[in-house]
Amino acid sequence: MNNQSYVVGIVGASGAVGQELVRLMHERNFPLSRLRLFASARSAGKKLTVGDETIEIEEAKPGVFADVDVAFFAAGGSVTRALAENAVAAGCLVIDKSSALRMRDDIPLVVPEINPEKLTGHKGIIANPNCSTAVMLMGLWPLHQLFGVKRIIVSTFQSVSGSGAEAVRELESQVLASVHGDPIKRKVYAPYQIAYNCIPQVDTFGEDGYTGEETKMAQESRKIMGLPDLKVSATCVRVPVVRAHSVSVCAEFERPVDLAQAREAIAAFPGAELVDEPAERKYPTPLDFAEKVKCGVGRLRIDTAMDNALSFWVTGDNLWKGAALNAVQNAELMIERGWLKPKAAN
C-alpha cells in the first residue's frame, strides 16, 4: 500500500455483503480518510459502528459521490443501473458486486489472482464475479495453468447467506420450528422449506432449462479465464448451510494430468489452501472456510469418466471471496500498483 488515503463509499451498507465490506475495511486496515455508508431511504439515518467510529447511513441517490474515490456497490442490479454511471461521472471508481454489468465487453470482470491486468482497462467500473464462480476458480485456475482446461461439469452446494440475511433467519426459524413442533413458515424458498432440505434451483430458469446462476457460472468463467470456447455444464443447489459455498468439479484438460503436480499447483496458488488428506478424513468444509481469505481445495483424484480429467472439491466463503473480499482485493491491488489515485491528490 502507498501512503495515500481514500474516501470510500459502500452502497448497500445495510445488507449482508455491505456489512462484510464495512468489516473488511476495518480489519484489513484499508487506507481510509473517510468511510461513507449508503443504503435505501428506509435505512438512511441508521448508524453502524466501525471500529471506534459510529457512522450514519446516508441515502443512496444521484449526487452523493462528489468526494468519493472508490465506491463498492453491493445493493443489487437495479441500484447499479440507477447509480453507477452517476458515480463514474463524479470521478469515482465503482467496484460492483451485482450481475448487471459483468458481461459487458467494456467492463472488466476481475479476480485479482487470475486476471489482474484487466484492472488497467476499466472505464470507471470494475465488475465482481458471481460468488459460486469465484470460489470454483480458486481451484480450477491453477490446474488450468498446468494442463489447459477444455470442459467442466460442476455441481454447487450454496449457502443460504447467498440469498441474504432474510434467508439465514428463515433457515434458523425453520430448524427451531421443527425442533419445537411448530408450523414451518416458507417465504424465501417457497413453496419449499430449506431446513433439512436441498433445493436444485438458484435463480430463475431459462428456456434452455438452466438457471440464471448456472448460466452465470458458464459465461463468467469463460470471460475471467479468457476461454470463450470453454464447455461448462452446471447444476446449482441451495443447501441448509449458513455460510460458504462448495463446488464439486469434474474438469477435462487438453494435456495428461498428474495428481502430484496438481496438488503442488493448488498448494502454491495464493487463493487456495490445499486440504487433501482423505485417509485422515481431511478435506474442506463450509464451517472450516467461513470467514477465511483463501478457499479450500481437496478430494483431488483422477476422474474415471473422462480422459485427462480431475475431480475435486472447493469450499469458500461466499460473502468474502465470493463477494466483499474479492472487491476489496481488487481495490487494494489497484492502490498497491499505483492505478488508483485519490481525488485529493489531483
Examine the domain organization and report whether 113 and 12 are in the same domain: yes
pLDDT above 60 (res 1): no
**Cell matching residue 114:** 487470475
pLDDT reported for residue 49: 87
Asked, for residue 125, whether it belongs to a domain, the answer is yes
HSE-CB at 7 with a 13 A cutoff on CA atoms is 13
Is 28 labeled as ligand-binding?
no
Asked, for residue 329, whether it belongs to a domain, the answer is yes
236 carries an active-site annotation:
no
pLDDT tens, 259-298?
Answer: 999 999 999 999 999 999 999 999 999 999 999 999 999 9
**Cell matching residue 243:** 455460510
479476480: which residue's cell?
Answer: 111
pLDDT tens, 224-269?
Answer: 999 999 999 999 999 999 999 999 999 999 999 999 999 999 999 9
Q: Specify whether the CB–CB gap between 21 and 328 falls below 8 A.
A: yes
We report the CATH number of the domain holding residue 269 as: 3.30.360.10
In angstroms, rounded to a whole number, what is the distance separating the alpha carbons of residues 323 and 66?
A: 25
Asked, for residue 185, whether it belongs to a domain, the answer is yes
Asked, for residue 50, whether it belongs to a domain, the answer is yes
Asked, for residue 53, whether it belongs to a domain, the answer is yes
Examine the domain organization and report whether 99 and 160 are in the same domain: no
**Cell matching residue 4:** 495515500
Examine the domain organization and report whether 202 and 234 are in the same domain: yes
Examine the domain organization and report whether 139 and 279 are in the same domain: yes
In angstroms, rounded to a whole number, what is the distance separating the alpha carbons of residues 12 and 190?
A: 25
Asked, for residue 338, whether it belongs to a domain, the answer is yes
Is 163 labeled as ligand-binding?
no
48-58 average pLDDT score: 90
pLDDT tens, 122-143?
Answer: 999 999 999 999 999 999 999 9
245 carries an active-site annotation:
yes
Examine the domain organization and report whether 67 and 151 are in the same domain: no
pLDDT reported for residue 344: 76
φ, ψ at 181 (rounded to 5°): 75, 25
Q: Specify whether the CB–CB gap between 171 and 195 falls below 8 A.
A: yes
pLDDT band at 50 (very low <50, low <70, confident <90, very high): confident
pLDDT above 80 (res 345): no
Mind spelling out the 3-state secondary structure of 100-159? CCCCCCCCCECCCCCCHHHHHHCCCEEECCCHHHHHHHHHHHHHHHHHCEEEEEEEEEEC
Is 173 labeled as ligand-binding?
no
pLDDT above 70 (res 40): yes
101-113 average pLDDT score: 97
Annotated catalytic residue, options 144, 245, 250, 295: 245
Asked, for residue 182, whether it belongs to a domain, the answer is yes
pLDDT above 90 (res 72): yes
Annotated catalytic residue, options 92, 131, 250, 295: 131
Examine the domain organization and report whether 145 and 291 are in the same domain: yes
Q: Bridge partners of 311?
A: 250, 301
Q: pLDDT higher for 3 or 326?
A: 326
Which positions ≥6 away from 336 have C-beta within 8 Å?
Answer: 1, 2
In angstroms, rounded to a whole number, what is the distance separating the alpha carbons of residues 203 and 19?
A: 23
Examine the domain organization and report whether 229 and 88 are in the same domain: no
Q: What is the count of structural domains for the chain?
A: 2
* DSSP-derived secondary structure letter, 278: G
Q: Over the range 236-272, which residues count as b (16 or more CB within 10 Å of their CB) and which as e?
A: bbbbbbebbbbbbbbbbbeeebeeeebbebbeebebb
In angstroms, rounded to a whole number, what is the distance separating the alpha carbons of residues 346 and 344?
A: 6
pLDDT band at 2 (very low <50, low <70, confident <90, very high): low
pLDDT band at 3 (very low <50, low <70, confident <90, very high): confident
pLDDT reported for residue 346: 59
Examine the domain organization and report whether 151 and 105 are in the same domain: no
Write out the residue range of the structural domain in which residue 154 sits. 132-317
Examine the domain organization and report whether 306 and 167 are in the same domain: yes
Asked, for residue 1, whether it belongs to a domain, the answer is no
Q: Specify whether the CB–CB gap between 165 and 16 falls below 8 A.
A: yes
Is 16 labeled as ligand-binding?
yes
Examine the domain organization and report whether 296 and 243 are in the same domain: yes
In angstroms, rounded to a whole number, what is the distance separating the alpha carbons of residues 86 and 66?
A: 10
Q: How many residues does the chain have?
A: 346
Is 17 labeled as ligand-binding?
yes
Q: Residue 86 in 3-state DSSP?
A: helix
440464471: which residue's cell?
Answer: 212
We report the CATH number of the domain holding residue 26 as: 3.40.50.720
Examine the domain organization and report whether 301 and 165 are in the same domain: yes
pLDDT tens, 173-197?
Answer: 999 999 999 999 999 999 999 999 9
pLDDT reported for residue 208: 97
pLDDT above 80 (res 327): yes
Examine the domain organization and report whether 143 and 269 are in the same domain: yes
